[in-house]
Structure 1
Amino acid sequence: MKEIVVCGEGLVDLVPAGDDPLSPLVPALGGGPFNVAITLGRLGSAVSLISRLSDDPYGEALTRALRAAGVNLSLLQRGSESTTLALTSIAADGSAQYSFYLENTADRLVVDPGELPRTVGALAFGTLSMVIEPGASVYEALLHRSHAEGRLTLLDPNIRAGVIDDPDAYRTRFTSWLPSLDIVKVSDDDAEWLALGGGAGGPEQWIEAGVGAVLMTRGGSGLSVLTERFSVEVPAPAVTVVDTIGAGDTICGALLHWLDTHRLLEPAKVRQMSQSDWSEGLTFAAKAAAVTVSRPGADPPWAGEL
Structure 2
Amino acid sequence: MIVSGDGAQRSSTIVSAGEALVDLVPTEQRPLAPLAPRLGGGPYNVAVGLGRLAVPTAMLTRLSTDAFGDALAVRLTDSGVRTDLLQRGDEPTTLAVVTVDEAGHARYSFHVEGTADRLVADPGDLDAAALAVGTLSLLLEPGASVYTELARRSAERGVFVSLDPNIRPALVTDPDTVRGRLDALAGVAGLVKLSDEDAAWWGREPEELLAAGAGAVVVTRGAEGLRAFTTAGVVEVPADTSRPVVDTIGAGDSVHGALLAHLHDHDLLTRDAVADLDADGWREALGFAARVAGWTVSRAGAEPPTRAELAGDGATP
Query: Scaled by the length of structure 1, what TM-score is found?
Result: 0.96
| Map of 2:132 onto structure 1 | 124
| Partner AA of 1:23 in structure 2 | A
1:8 to 11, 18, 40: 18
State the one-letter code of the partner of 2:257: G
The question of 1:67 aligning with 2:71 is answered no
Gaps of 5+ in 2: 2-11, 311-317
CA RMSD of aligned residues (A): 1.0
Equivalent of 1:223 in 195, 204, 226: 226
How far apart in 2 are the matches of 1:258 and 1:90?
30
1:180 aligns with 2:188: yes
- CA displacement at 1:170 relative to structure 2: 1.6
- Deviation of 1:94 after TM superposition, in Å, equals 1.0
Taking only the aligned residue pairs, the percentage that are identical comes to: 51
Instruction: Classify the secondary structure of the residue corresponding to 1:180.
Output: coil
1:110 aligns with 2:120: yes
Equivalent position to 1:165, from 173, 185, 190:
173
Per the TM alignment, residue 172 of structure 1 is displaced from its structure 2 partner at its CA by: 2.4
Once the two structures are TM-superposed, the CA of residue 261 in structure 1 deviates from its matched residue by 0.8
Look up the match of 1:54: 64
Following TM superposition, where does structure 1 have runs of at least 4 consecutive aligned residues deviating by more than 6 angstroms?
Answer: none
> Structure 1 stretches of 5 or more lacking a match?
196-200
More off after superposition, 68-77 vs 264-273: 264-273
Higher alpha-carbon deviation: 16-25 or 59-68:
16-25
2:247 matched to 1:237? no
Q: Secondary structure at the match of 2:256?
A: helix
- Report the equivalent of 1:41: 51
Matched, 1:277 2:281: yes
Partner of 1:153: 161
* Contact persistence 1:150–1:267 (CA under 8 A): no
Residue of structure 2 equivalent to 1:258: 262
2:30 & 2:277 partners in 1: Cα distance?
48
Asked if 1:101 corresponds to 2:104, the answer is no
Please tell me whether the aligned partners of residues 235 and 283 of structure 2 are also in contact (alpha carbons under 8 angstroms): yes
Secondary structure of 1:232's counterpart equals strand
Deviation readout 1:119-139 (Å, 9 max, x if unpaired):
x11010010000100000000
Looking at structure 2, the residues matched to 93 and 169 of structure 1 have their Cα atoms a distance apart, in angstroms, of 34
Residue correspondences, number: 299
Q: Normalised by the size of structure 2, how large is the TM-score?
A: 0.93
User: Distance between the aligned counterparts of 2:202 and 2:81, measured in 1?
Assistant: 32
Aligned equivalents of 1:214, 1:126: Cα separation in 2: 14
